[in-house]
Amino acid sequence: MRKRLAQFRKLGRTPEHKWAMLRNMVTSLIKHERIETTLPKAKELRHLADKVVGYAKKGDVHAKQLALRVVREKPVVTKLFEVLGPRYEDRDGGYTRVMKLSRPRHGDNAPMAVIEYV
CATH of the domain at 29: 3.90.1030.10
Q: Is residue 2 part of a domain?
A: no
Each residue's pLDDT expressed in tens, for the chain with a length of 118 residues? 667 666 678 888 999 999 999 999 999 999 999 999 999 999 999 999 999 999 999 999 999 999 999 998 999 999 999 999 999 999 999 999 999 999 999 999 999 999 999 9
Q: Is residue 24 part of a domain?
A: yes
This prediction's pTM:
0.90
Q: Domain containing 95: what range?
A: 15-117
Question: Count of domains in the chain?
Answer: 1
Q: Is residue 8 part of a domain?
A: no
Q: Is residue 4 part of a domain?
A: no
Q: Is residue 40 part of a domain?
A: yes
- Distances in Å between the Cα of 104 and the Cα atoms of 10, 12, 36, 101, 111 are 21, 19, 12, 7, 5
Side chain identity, residue 45: L
In this prediction, residue 2 carries a pLDDT of 65
